[in-house]
Structure 1
Amino acid sequence: MNGSMLPAAAAAAVLVLDGLRLRARLRAIPSLPARNPVVVPSPPARHPVPVTASSAGSPIYVPADREPVTPPGDGTDRFVLVTAAGVTVDERTHRQAVAHAEREGLAVLDLVPADLPMAQTFTLARQVDPATYRTDPLAPGRGAGQALLVDAALAARAGVRSGDGHDPATMIRITDRLKKYAAADAGLLVTPEVAAVPADPATFRARLRAATVSPHATLAIRLYGYLLLATAIVLDPAWGLLALAGYVTQPYLVTAGTGLRPADRLRAAWLRPVRDPLRWWRCARGTWRSPYDRQMDERRAHARTVYARDLADGTGRFFEPRRDDCPWCGGTRLRRRLTSPDRIMGKPGSFSLERCGDCGHLFQNPRLNAAGLEFYYRDVYDGLGASGSEKLLAGHVDSYRGRVTMVRAHTSPRRWLDVGTGWGHFCRYAAPHLPGTVFDGLDMGDGVLEAQRRGWIDLAHQGMFPASADRLTGHYDVISMHHYLEHTLDPRAEIGAAARALPPGGHLLIEVPNPRFGPARLLRSLWLPYFQPQHLNLIALPRLVEAVAAQGLTVVATDTGRAHQPCDLSGALALWLNSRFPEPDRPWLPVPATRLSRARHSMAWSMAIPALVLAAVTDRLLAAAIAPTSGGNCYRLLARKPVAG
Structure 2
Amino acid sequence: MPTRPIHEPRRDDCPWCGAPGPRTRLRAPDLRHGRPGTFTLDECRACTHVFQNPRLTPEGLALYGAAGTVWRRARRRDHRGTGRAVRRYCPEPESWLDVGTGDAAFPAAVKELFPYTSFDGTDPTERVTAAAEEERIEEAYVGHLGRPGLPRRLRGRYDVVSLLGSLVRAPDARAELRAAVDAVRPGGYLVLELPDPDSAWASLLGKWWHAHTQPHHLQLLPLPNVRAELEGTGCRVLEEDRVTAHRPTDLSTALDLRLGRGLPTPLARALVTTAHATDIALAPLLSRTPFTNTYRVLAHKPL
Secondary structure of 1:532's counterpart equals: coil
Shift of 1:380: 4.4
Asked whether the 8 Å contact 1:452–1:458 carries over to 2, the reply is yes
The answer for unaligned runs of 5 or more in structure 2 is none
Equivalent position SS for 1:486: helix
Pairwise CA distance, 1:522: 1.5
Aligned positions of 1:261-272 closer than 5 A: none
Query: What whole-Å deviation, never above 9, does each CA across 1:548-606 have from its counterpart, x for those lacking one?
Result: 1111111111111211111111111111111xx2xxxxxxxxxxxxxxxxxxx5x5333
1:456 aligns with 2:116: no
**TM-fit CA distance, 1:360:** 1.0
Given candidates 363, 366, 375, the residue that maps to 2:54 is: 366
* Aligned twin of 2:284: 624
Decide which moves more: 609-618 or 427-436. Answer: 609-618
Instruction: Tell me which of the two structures has the higher relative contact order, counting C-alpha pairs closer than 8 angstroms and 6 or more residues apart.
Output: 2
* AA matched with 1:445: T
Tell me the distance in 2 between the aligned counterparts of 1:631 and 1:406: 21
Equivalent pairs, count: 300
Structure with bigger helix share is 1
| 1:290-309 → structure 2 map (5 Å cutoff) | none
Aligned to 2:84: 405
Aligned match of 2:211: 529
* Alignment pair present for 1:323 and 2:2: no
DSSP 3-state at the match of 1:317: coil
CA change 1:563–1:498 in 2 (3 A) is: same
Given candidates 198, 203, 215, the residue that maps to 1:516 is 198
In the alignment, what sits opposite 1:441?
121
| SS of equivalent to 1:478 | strand
Equivalence map 1:172-571=2 (5 Å): 317-376=5-64, 378-380=65-67, 396-412=75-91, 413-466=93-146, 467=148, 468=150, 470-571=152-253
Answer yes or no: is the 8 Å Cα contact 2:67–2:216 preserved in 1: no
- Amino acid of the residue matched to residue 617 of structure 1? A
> Which residue type is aligned with residue 6 of structure 2?
F
Match for residue 202 of structure 1? none
Partners of 1:494 and 1:614 in 2: CA distance: 37
Letter in 2 for 1:372: G
Contact 1:560 1:630 in 2 (8 A): no
How far did 1:629 drift? 5.2
Distance (whole Å) between structure 2 residues aligned to residue 564 and residue 484 of structure 1: 17
Higher strand share: 2
Counterpart secondary structure, 1:464: coil
What CA distance in whole angstroms lies between the structure 1 residues aligned with 2:80 and 2:290? 19
Looking at structure 1, the residues matched to 19 and 11 of structure 2 have their Cα atoms a distance apart, in angstroms, of: 11
Shift of 1:447: 0.8
Matches of 2:126 and 2:26 in 1, distance apart? 33
Shift in alpha-carbon separation, 1:613–1:361, aligned structure 2, 3 A: same
Shift of 1:417: 0.5
Deviation at 1:612, TM superposition (A): 2.2
Instruction: List aligned pairs for 1:38-53, cutoff 5 A.
Output: none
Compared CA separation, residues 427 and 611, structure 1 to 2 (3 A) = same
Superposition TM-score, scaled by structure 2 size:
0.92
- Counterpart of 1:405 in structure 2: which amino acid? R
Stretches (4+) displaced over 6 A: none
Q: Is the 8 A contact 2:100 2:144 kept in 1?
A: no
1:567–1:453: structure 2 CA closer, same or farther, 3 Å change rule? same
Structure 1 pair 572–538 and aligned structure 2 pair: CA distance change class (3 A):
same
SS in structure 1 opposite 2:205?
Answer: helix
Contact 1:319 1:372 in 2 (8 A): yes
Secondary structure in structure 2 of the residue aligned to 1:504: strand
Give the aligned partner of residue 614 of structure 1.
274
* Contact 1:479 1:502 survives alignment (8 Å): yes
- Distance (Å, rounded) in 2 between the aligned partners of 1:456 and 1:397: 15
Using a 3 Å threshold, how does the CA distance of structure 1 residues 395 and 327 change in structure 2: closer, same or farther? closer
Give the superposition deviation at 1:343.
Answer: 0.7
State whether residues 499 and 552 of structure 1, in contact with CA within 8 Å, keep that contact through their aligned partners in structure 2.
no
The CA deviation at 1:527 is: 0.5
- The answer to which of 455-464 and 521-530 deviates more is 455-464
Amino acid at match of 2:154: L
Over aligned residues, Cα RMSD in angstroms? 2.3
Provide the rounded CA distance (Å) in 2 between the counterparts of 1:347 and 1:327: 27
| 1:65 equivalent in structure 2 | none
Q: Which whole-Å deviations, capped at 9, do the CAs of 1:490-513 have from their partners, x for residues lacking one?
A: 111111112222111111111111
Aligned to 2:158, the other structure's residue is in SS state: coil
How many Å separate the matches in 1 of 2:97 and 2:268? 41
| Secondary structure, aligned partner of 2:86 | helix
- Deviation at residue 483 of structure 1 after TM alignment: 0.8
Go from structure 1 to structure 2 and tell me whether the alpha carbon gap of 1:564 and 1:330 turns closer, same or farther (over 3 Å shift): same
TM-score normalised by length of structure 1: 0.44
Task: Name the CA distance, whole Å, in 1 between partners of 2:76 and 2:129.
Answer: 22
Q: Residues 216-252 of structure 1, C-alpha deviation per residue, up to 9 Å, x if partnerless?
A: xxxxxxxxxxxxxxxxxxxxxxxxxxxxxxxxxxxxx
CA distance in 2, matches of 1:604, 1:323: 41
CA distance in 1, matches of 2:73, 2:202: 25
Cα deviation code 1:129-168 (max 9, x no counterpart): xxxxxxxxxxxxxxxxxxxxxxxxxxxxxxxxxxxxxxxx
How much does 1:616 deviate? 1.2
Displacement, 1:634?
A: 1.1
| SS of structure 1 residue aligned to 2:238 | strand
Contact 2:256 2:268 in 1 (8 A): no
* Structure 1 contact 353–363 (Cα < 8 Å) conserved: yes
The alignment partner of 2:186 has SS state of coil
In 2: Cα distance, 1:360 partner to 1:396 partner: 24
In structure 1, give the amino acid aligned to 2:184: L
Q: Deviations over 1:392-433 (max 9, x none)?
A: 957755420121011101113110000111010110111111
Distance (whole Å) between structure 1 residues aligned to residue 11 and residue 188 of structure 2: 36
CA-to-aligned-CA distance 1:182-201 (integer Å, 9 cap, x gap):
xxxxxxxxxxxxxxxxxxxx
User: CA–CA distance in 2 between the matches of 1:496 and 1:615?
Assistant: 38
| Counterpart residue type for residue 556 of structure 1 | L
> How far, CA to CA, are the matches of 2:210 and 2:232 in structure 1?
30
Amino acid at match of 1:633: N
CA–CA separation in structure 2 for the residues paired with 1:331 and 1:395? 33
When residues 392 and 454 of structure 1 are mapped into structure 2, their CA distance, relative to the original with a 3 A threshold, is farther
Distance in 1 (CA, whole Å) between partners of 2:253 and 2:239 is 28
Task: Report the 3-state secondary structure (helix = DSSP H, G, I; strand = E; otherwise coil) of the residue aligned with 1:572.
Answer: helix
Query: What's the secondary structure of 1:344's corresponding residue?
Result: coil
